[in-house]
C-alpha cells in the first residue's frame, strides 16, 4: 500500500509539472520579458505539494529545460534560456514554490492562506527574477530600472492569476485531503 501511495504522489507531481510546461507556452510577448502563465503553474505546485516535493518538481522542470527540452516559455530550452532577460525568473520559480509550500505546511489550505502565501511568494519571485536584469551582459540595469522593468509590469497580471487559481487549489486540496494522498 505504501508503494502505491508513493507512486500516486509522484504521478500527481508529474501531472502538475505538465501543467507548468503547458502554462509556459501560453504567453503574451512583451519587449524584453514575455508574460506567461508559468507563475500559475508554479503557484499551484507550491500550494498543492508538500515542501520537498514542490521543490523537487520545480528542480525537475529546470533540469528538463537546462538539458534542452523545450519546456520554457515559447518552447525554449537549453542553458541559453537562463542567459536571457527572463532567465532569472527560472531559478526564482524554485523559491516561489518552496515559499508557498512552507507557508502552507502547518496551516489550513483555506482561501485566505493560499492567497496570502501565493501573493507574498510571487512578489519575492518577481523581485528575485528582476535582479537578473542587473547582470552586465544580460541587461546591466540599475536596481530601480530592474524593478521597473521586471517586477512592476507583472504584479497585477500575476496577482490576477493567483485570484483565478486560488479557489481551484482550495477545492483540489479538499479532494487530496479526503483521499489522504499526502497523509
Q: 58 — phi, psi (to 5°)? A: -70, -40
What distance, in Å, lies between the first and last C-alpha atoms of the chain? 13
Mean per-residue pLDDT, 90-95: 98
Where do we find the cell 530600472?
A: 145
Query: Among candidates 85, 75, 64, which has minimal Cα distance to 22?
Result: 75
pLDDT in tens, 58-73: 999 999 999 999 999 9
| Collapsed DSSP state (helix, strand, coil) of residue 27 | strand
Report the half-sphere exposure of 20 (CA within 13 A, side-chain side). 28
Whether 122 has a pLDDT exceeding 70, the answer reads: yes
Q: Is the pTM of this model over 0.85?
A: yes
- Return the C-alpha cell found at 71: 519546456
Residue 26, C-beta contacts closer than 8 angstroms, at least 6 positions apart: 36, 37
Residue count of the chain = 183
Look at 2 and 66; give whichever has higher pLDDT: 66
Question: Distance between CA atoms of 43 and 123, rounded to whole angstroms?
Answer: 12
pLDDT in tens, 21-52: 999 999 988 777 888 999 999 999 999 999 99
Q: In the prediction, which pLDDT does 1 show?
A: 58
Percent of the chain residues topping a pLDDT of 70: 99
Q: Is CATH 1.10.1760.20 the right assignment for the domain spanning 2-179?
A: yes
Question: Distance between CA atoms of 72 and 86, rounded to whole angstroms?
Answer: 10
Question: Is residue 79 within 8 Å of 139, Cβ to Cβ?
Answer: no
Question: Is residue 24 within 8 Å of 90, Cβ to Cβ?
Answer: no
Neighbours of 169 (CB within 10 A): 24
Amino acid at each position: 500500500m505504501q508503494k502505491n501511495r508513493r507512486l500516486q504522489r509522484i504521478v500527481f507531481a508529474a501531472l502538475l509539472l505538465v501543467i507548468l510546461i503547458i502554462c509556459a507556452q501560453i504567453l503574451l510577448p512583451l519587449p524584453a520579458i514575455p508574460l506567461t502563465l508559468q507563475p500559475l503553474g508554479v503557484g499551484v505546485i507550491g500550494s498543492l505539494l508538500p515542501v520537498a516535493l514542490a521543490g523537487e518538481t520545480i528542480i525537475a522542470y529546470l533540469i528538463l529545460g537546462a538539458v534542452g527540452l523545450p519546456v520554457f516559455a515559447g518552447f525554449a530550452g537549453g542553458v541559453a534560456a537562463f542567459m536571457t532577460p527572463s532567465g532569472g525568473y527560472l531559478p526564482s520559480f524554485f523559491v516561489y514554490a518552496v515559499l508557498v509550500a512552507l507557508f502552507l505546511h502547518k496551516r489550513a489550505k483555506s482561501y485566505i492562506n493560499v492567497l496570502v502565501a501565493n501573493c507574498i511568494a510571487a512578489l519575492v519571485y518577481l523581485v528575485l527574477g528582476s535582479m537578473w536584469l542587473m547582470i552586465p551582459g544580460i541587461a546591466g540595469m540599475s536596481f530601480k530600472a530592474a524593478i521597473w522593468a521586471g517586477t512592476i509590469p507583472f504584479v497585477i497580471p500575476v496577482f490576477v492569476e493567483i485570484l483565478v487559481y486560488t479557489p481551484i487549489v482550495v477545492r483540489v486540496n479538499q479532494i487530496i485531503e479526503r483521499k489522504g494522498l499526502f497523509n
